Chains A and B, each alone.
Chain A
Amino acid sequence: MTIVEKVRALLGEGAVLEEGTDRVPRIAPGSPDAVALLLGTAHQEGWRVRIEGAGTWLQSDAPADLALTTRRLDRIPAIEPQDLTATAEAGIGLDQLRQQLADRGAWLGVDPPGLAGRTLGSVVASATAGPLRQGFGPVKDHLLGVTFVTGDGRMVQSGGRVMKNVAGYDLTRLQAGGFGAFGVVVLVHLRLRALPRADVTHLLEGSREDLTQCAEDIAAAGLTPAALELISPALARRERWVLAVRLAGSPALVAADETGLGAATGGGGRFTPLRAEEAHAFWMRHAEGFAVRPVTFRLGAVPAASDEMLDLLQHQVGDEWVSASPAVGAIRWTGEATIDRLHRLRRTLAGLEVPLTLERAPWPVRTAVGHFGAYREGVGPLVAGLRRTFDPGNALVVATDSE
């Protein structure tokens, strides 16, 4: 009996999708319980499973006996505008989620890189925050709790649906950015914000040096932008570097920040506002730009080191496709890079206490370089222990550490 036949017997005909080009069976469980049943079976049968969402972000190329896609886990069981919370299944596309939240006057302050239909589970598992990290924090700060299924089919709840929660260990934070190494996230409880009543974007073009100084001035002036992003010309589709400032919130706060922004200049230039549809298109293109080229990674530096990091990237891998949040020290790069080059870059960065997290790359690169790379002394055994705990049969195909 083949894997597909066994899965059909377990989950029904509807769970088996068409194979991808790599001939790996693609299974789409229709409920969290079905995910648990599938992974429990995989564990017992010794099947290797790769995890997929909508297939728009991480390359679907990890060698596996089957691909588990969360795309049929696309329900939103609860949106509570009064409490500013929501519960959504992991396979819901962010575009659909955003729309349904907006219909209820609610908003998720996360704008990850990738296509609009990227799944919520993918964003959580890879902890890929976008420019809104400046104002609203990393992905983990938007999570109240998750339910996940371990590699051997156990369903685990962590956190809850309320604003504060210290009951038990925070396994939610382990899942955020765990790349699926500790289980498959199936349900997410989200912290929301009210849909901003004012949301404007201003752009300033100039030299990287001038715009970096301008970003520093804005931070020092105490303005509270939702996003403050320094973007390379190619990524911004402009002639020169761009400093993009997004202000979102109450009209009074946004107006105050716009006044403050008026005083900020970069090399003599002035910020120009975008119309609402222009701003939407600008940020969408920015996000999509990271899903096109084969390799994307992020750096987490201290703010004062942002400029130095951009210099380093320019020297080692080029800075054609790069975007930085200088006030928080987060930098995202995309392009083509060899395994050796990534190893070298990561070694250099490690000496500066700056982690490089590989977000997406073809499997040969992922498995050689790893999402996290080499661990610091003493951390490796902890991560290995956690992996054994949550995936004792090593069923989940995830390239966390380097070879």
Chain B
Amino acid sequence: MNGLAGDLGAIVGERHVRVARAERATYAMDGLPTHRRLPDVVVLPGTREEVIAVVRLLAAHGAAMVPRGAGTGLSGGALAGEGAVLVVLTRLNRIVRVDPQNRLAVVEPGVVNARLSAAARPHGLHYAPDPSSQTACTIGGNVAENAGGPHCLKYGVTANHILALEVVLANGRTVELGSPGGEPGGGGPDLVGLFVGSEGNFGIATRITVRLTPLPRAVRTLLADFMSLRTAGEGVSAIIAAGIVPAALEMMDQSCIQAVEDSVYAAGYPRDAAAVLLVELDGHDGAAVTAEADGVTALLKQAGARSIRTAADEAERERLWQGRKKAFGAMGRLSRDLVVQDAVVPRSALPDVLETIAGIAARHRLVVSNVFHAGDGNLHPNISFDATDDDLRARVEQASGEIMAACIAAGGTITGEHGVGLDKLRYMPLVFDAESLGAMHAVRRVFDPHERVNPGKVVPVHACREWARVRSAGWGVRSISGDSAPRTPHAALSRIP
């Protein structure tokens, strides 16, 4: 790799290439403490031209590469192992253009999420997807993971806000996908939608056109506390079933509440509550938002809320939100390591699934704290542990698997916003059959035939049905459920005269 590092240095400048072990170790993990991989070389291009040159050089060498943003991911998705070059994109951090008239912005991938919203704010706009890590995570990373956030309940996830992309493919060629108006058209089918959430497997986005959303003129933020997780979950179901779409509908359980209240992020959550719901309603008309807030209040009381508090001013609202957004940090008080899990269930299944998770935690003698996007049914069971304790690690792994299985059994899935990365690879066959995994693998090879970009992530190749060859004639045997359809083996056709 020494020769390659030298060539990379010639493109980006020597100081933007990391080869010393201590320097590379900085990039050996992301936000998930259970995976660690040391990249061979780390390169930090500063312009799109440098990205293209780097990718072309790596293509010429046949070297694997892993794109990375701020490294705040929670699935081990942006880790590069032996033989791979980590391409860190944080220096591509320019906001190219904010177009308030058309409510869009063009940014480079290394722009930090919160910085984009700050730039749009003077125009009365913001970038709606707001992951908890928004003060650090980058738009490029958000695109790769199809990131969510509390306010995605009303405003949608990253995929709903990406209009167009300039992408550098594995071979170093660039393509433009989508259009500023959001219609795929000349870009063909919706390749933007396909690219978003592809976890870096399809190439590197070097320019991203995002939709900006008007800032709401009226906001009401409520904090409701409950004496059981079940009643809190039922409160969530009541709001959704009533057709009210809050801007955000977040839940925290007692373990999480106490961690927050013991920390510098203390928000005034009632310590003895089994759960709190943070509900935010917004809109352009104060009276209408107040009327909706009154409706939510009534529904939550009916569901068993012990008390409901309304943020009196912006300062109180920010305090309530700080507790929620910094909850993961606050949990650092509980133990030295934290696995932030991510799964989604139908919203009506929340009460049952939360009880199941509590049972799994008790059975494995683990501390599991729940802080999550209840309105979307997007759970984040957080398991506190000490990674130096092998027995504890094994129990965490076992419990994580059981939690995933419980969510799938409830009709859910294994990740709602953190991605598959390395961490969820083993669960993919639980939600997709071999044929569907094979299709994903085949799509990946359209973009990256040699599978050099972020290898070994997202699709567990060993579990795929092979799509490269024509299937055997006997494959066509299927269960036909139609009223008049016989069960005819596909191969039998050849015997029909």
Q: Which residues of A contact B (CB under 8 A)?
A: 1, 5-6, 9-15, 29-31, 33-34, 36-37, 40-41, 44-45, 72, 80-85, 105, 127, 137-138, 140-141, 150, 152-158, 160-174, 176-179, 181-182, 193-197, 221-224, 250, 252-253, 255-257, 259-260, 298-305, 328-330, 350, 353-357, 372-380, 382-383, 385-386, 389-390, 392, 400-401
Contacts and interface: CB of A to CB of B under 8 A. Distances in A.
Nearest to B216: A222
Contact of A378 (B175, B214, B424, B428): B175
A296 to B, nearest CB: 15
Given A164-B148, A224-B284, A389 B102 contact: no
Interface in B401-451: 411-420, 424, 428, 431-433, 435-440, 442-444, 446-447
Interface in B202-229: 214, 217
| B177, B187, B214, B418, most chain A CB atoms within 10 A | B187
Given A11-B480, A162-B346, A253-B292, A302 B104 contact: yes
Given A14-B484, A82-B241, A165 B413 contact: yes
A167 B414 CA distance: 7
A82 to B, nearest CB: 4
Contacts of B157: 164
Nearest to A163: B376
Given A41-B493, A173-B193, A257-B285, 12 more contacts: A11-B480, A11-B482, A15-B485, A29-B485, A31-B481, A33-B480, A167-B428, A169-B440, A174-B194, A253-B288, A378-B169, A382-B188
Nearest to B167: A378
B283 to A, nearest CB: 6
A161 B346 contact: yes
Interface in B279-299: 283-285, 287-288, 291-292, 295
A9 B284 contact: no
A157 to B, nearest CB: 5
B185 A40 contact: no
Contact of B241 (A127, A194, A380): A194
Contact of B475 (A40, A82, A373, A390): A40
Contacts of A304: 101-102
Contacts of B201: 169
Interface residues of B, number: 113
B376 A164 contact: yes
A392 B146 CA distance: 29
A30 B431 contact: no
**Closest 7 interchain pairs by CB?**
A355-B185, A300-B183, A194-B243, A30-B482, A173-B193, A222-B284, A12-B484
Contacts of A29: 482, 485
B183 A163 contact: no
B240 A155 contact: no
28 contacts: A9-B493, A30-B483, A30-B485, A37-B480, A72-B482, A83-B240, A137-B156, A153-B490, A158-B436, A162-B344, A163-B376, A164-B152, A168-B436, A173-B196, A174-B193, A181-B189, A250-B295, A252-B287, A302-B181, A328-B182, A357-B185, A372-B185, A373-B185, A375-B187, A376-B186, A376-B187, A379-B177, A379-B186
Given A166-B145, A222-B214, A382 B439 contact: no
B133 interface: no
B62 interface: no
B190 A176 contact: yes
A170 B159 contact: yes
B473 interface: yes
B377 interface: yes
A339 B242 CA distance: 50
A72 B193 CA distance: 30
A160 B185 contact: no
B348 A80 contact: yes
